[in-house]
A and B are shown apart, each in its own frame.
Chain A
Amino acid sequence: MRQYFRDIFQSIWTVLIGMKVTFGHLFVPAVTIQYPDVKIKLPERARNRLYVNMDDCIGCKQCEMACPVDCIEIETVKSLPTDDLGTTSSGQKKKLWVTKFDIDIAKCCYCALCVYPCPTECIYMTEVYEFSEFDRNNLIYNYITLTSEEIKNIKTKTSEYEKEQAAKKAAATPKPSAQTSDKTT
């Protein structure tokens, strides 16, 4: 019987305490911000969309190997000794043409594992987080700065050069029949 009255009294009392808490909050300023008009400044280490500075990329493929979800695809072409690809910002001479550097930003899990192994620090995470697209194919980012014309040129030049090198190598190796018969060339 006493439990019955105790229950009723407890109910009313705790309800009133709860009401006091919520009433107090009516006068507390809101903690939310009006998002599209006001945006919070992200801290400097924020991990959002990836960016690749192709001028510094040496085509080492470390980021491709480090990615746990395989969202980076890189294709490189070895450059000829006569080509001048320029240098990275730290002075290193670039030796590989990067003909494909695609990041599927929809697959990216924003873990930043690709940022740490890069020797030239050319891939890093920016603070851009509003990059939604209507078409999923637009989320595959192509970072290369070469046009497809240039790529074709490079590839044909490189394959020609390689054929030349292979032919030279074949001519330089001594053939048993040619050496005895052909001495004047």
Chain B
Amino acid sequence: MTELPTTQTKTSTGRSVRTEEMVLNMGPQHPSTHGVLRLELVVDGEIVIDVIPHIGYLHRCFEKHAEKMTNYQQVIPYVDRMDYCAAMNMDFGYVLAVEKLLGIKVPERVEYIRVIMAELQRIASHLIAAGTYGLDIGAFTPFLYMFRDRERILDLFEMTCGARLLYNYMWIGGLSHDLSPGFIDKAKDFCKYFRPKIKEYNDLLSYNEIFIKRTANVGVLPADVAIAYACSGPVLRGSGVNFDLRRDDPYSIYHRFEWEPQVGMGEMGKVGDCWDRYMVRIREMEQSTNIVEQALNQIPDGEVTSAIPKRIRPNPGDVYVRTESARGEIGFYVVSDGSGSPYRVKGRSPCFVNLSVIPEISRGHMIADIVAIAGSLDIVLGEVDR
């Protein structure tokens, strides 16, 4: 056991007092760490000196399972379960990777539906992130309002593929089902319903002075540090870096829609604080609603299962495809050895990389701020541990 460093401080009367730093365990079971994350805090009173994250409590050997599957299609349920809060985005990334390996092109309708599903999933995932963030800060009601709206998105998903959270919907070369009749109208209704709700969230939580006081200037992540640590997604954009994979490393048909990546501008404090990251998510929800509406208006007719190959047997080789999930850059590195089952599937998880930035940005803050910082990074442990 290493000796804890002790600091010498001088009292007002000139006597020197030895204070010791305390190790506090925000253990795997804690209401605020989103999932089973252990944060070892070294604190001096209320001020945090160091944060050491310990992960691995949710490791389920996803990559080993993927090697043992009999075909590439069977890996998709496992990929869903990596980030269970944004499963469509995970499907999307993996499916694009294998399609690139096979060299097949999917029909137009499939592209449009995939974008609609991915963006709806992004809205749902950001609703979880913002809702639970409010809960961590102490506001109980926005959490319930956001989940009420998320139910509508999950109803849309259930109507299409039958599952609410883990879909197995995007298949290699197409989709498992076509949109059910009535989906387009219901989705358009949802978009109309959702926009005023964002204003409600802003009234209740985002611009609430107490919330601003808790999150502005807390956990400031400078842009160069974010880039050095390879952060991505709202964490990176909250620090002022205008980088979005949907625009800068384009995939699928995102270039056909009008939308803007949202960047934190330091409205309430320094650029890159927790409020910026949170606000980037709220604004991204609005942009995603725009994309969904445009896609619903432009969607062509066609088949969704016509391009699904009977036997998926790619040529030997490897491919790395990255897409923008709700939490950042999700990358899949798929290695094929010519047989029907993958030789290696590696998932590059955005939350794993974003989590590594916690020690850097939380020095000198208080314990209550650690909760705010961990919440603003929006970690899902399924993805961190795979």
Which A residues are in CB contact (< 8 Å) with B258?
none
Q: For B162, give its contact among A10, A13, A47 (CB under 8 Å).
A: A47
Interface residues on A, range: 20 to 34
**A178 interfacial contact with B, CB 8 Å:** no
Contact present for B73 and A65 (CB under 8 Å): no
List B contacts of A116 (CB < 8 A).
176
Q: Which of B77, B151, B159, B209 contacts A111 (CB 8 A)?
A: B77
Q: Which of B144-175 contact A (CB under 8 A)?
A: 145, 148, 151, 158-163, 166, 168
List residues of chain B with CB within 8 A of the CB of A18.
Answer: 203-205, 208
Ranked nearest first, the 5 interchain pairs of A and B with the lowest CB-CB distance are A47-B162, A45-B162, A111-B77, A11-B209, A68-B74
Known: A10-B209, A14-B208. A42 touches B158 (CB 8 A): yes
- Give the Cβ gap from B212 to chain A, nearest Cβ, in Å: 8
- Indicate if the CB atoms of A68 and B69 lie closer than 8 Å: yes
Contact B77 A113, beta carbon cutoff 8 Å: yes
B77 touches A65 (CB 8 A): no
B162/A125 in contact, CB under 8 A: yes
The reply on B177 being an interface residue by CB < 8 A is yes
B208 lies within 8 A of A113 (CB): no
User: Which of A15, A17, A111 is close to B168, meaning CB atoms less than 8 Å apart?
Assistant: A111
Note all chain A residues with C-beta closer than 8 A to B315: none
Q: Chain A residue with minimal CB distance to B206?
A: A14
Q: Known contacts A15-B208, A47-B161; can you find 20 more A-B pairs with CB under 8 A?
A: A11-B210, A14-B207, A14-B210, A15-B209, A17-B203, A17-B207, A17-B208, A25-B141, A43-B162, A45-B158, A45-B159, A68-B78, A69-B77, A109-B77, A110-B166, A111-B77, A111-B166, A112-B162, A113-B168, A116-B176
Q: Is A46 close to B, CB under 8 A?
A: yes
B343 to chain A, nearest CB (A): 17
B77-A46 in contact (CB<8A)? no
Residue A31 lies at the interface, judged by CB distance under 8 Å to chain B = yes
Interface residues of A in 1-55 (CB under 8 A from B): 7, 10-11, 13-15, 17-18, 20-22, 25, 31, 42-47
Q: Nearest Cβ distance between residue A90 and chain B, in whole angstroms?
A: 21
Q: Is A66 an interface residue (CB 8 A)?
A: yes
Question: Closest B-chain residue to A66, C-beta based?
Answer: B74
Inter-chain contact A46/B158, CB cutoff 8 Å: yes
> Chain B: interface residue count, which band?
20 to 34
Which of chain B's residues has its CB closest to A13's CB? B209
| B203 interface neighbour in A21, A42, A67, A68, Cβ under 8 Å | A21
Contacts of B77 in A (CB 8 A): 68-69, 109, 111, 113
Write the nearest CB–CB distance from B341 to chain A, whole angstroms.
11
Tell which of B75, B162, B166, B203 has the most Cβ of chain A within 10 Å.
B162
Question: Which residues of A pack against B, CB within 8 Å?
Answer: 7, 10-11, 13-15, 17-18, 20-22, 25, 31, 42-47, 65-69, 109-113, 116, 125
B203 lies within 8 A of A112 (CB): no
**Set A14, A17, A47: member contacting B163, Cβ < 8 A:** A47
Instruction: Tell me the minimal C-beta distance from A177 to chain B in angstroms.
Output: 49
Report chain B residues within 8 Å CB of A43.
158-159, 162, 180
B267 within 8 A of A: no
**B200 lies within 8 A of chain A by Cβ:** yes
A14 to B65, CA, bound (A): 51
Quote the shortest CB–CB distance from B347 to chain A (angstroms).
16
Say yes or no: A45-B161 contact (C-beta < 8 A), given A109-B77, A113-B74.
Answer: yes
Cβ of B162 and Cβ of A46 under 8 Å apart?
yes
Residues B78 and A21 in contact, CB atoms below 8 Å apart: no
How long is the Cα–Cα vector from A109 to B75 in the complex, in angstroms?
12
Q: How far is the CB of B168 from chain A (nearest CB, A)?
A: 4
Q: Which of B80, B168, B205, B210 sits near A112, CB closer than 8 Å?
A: B168
A22 in contact with B141 (CB, 8 Å): yes
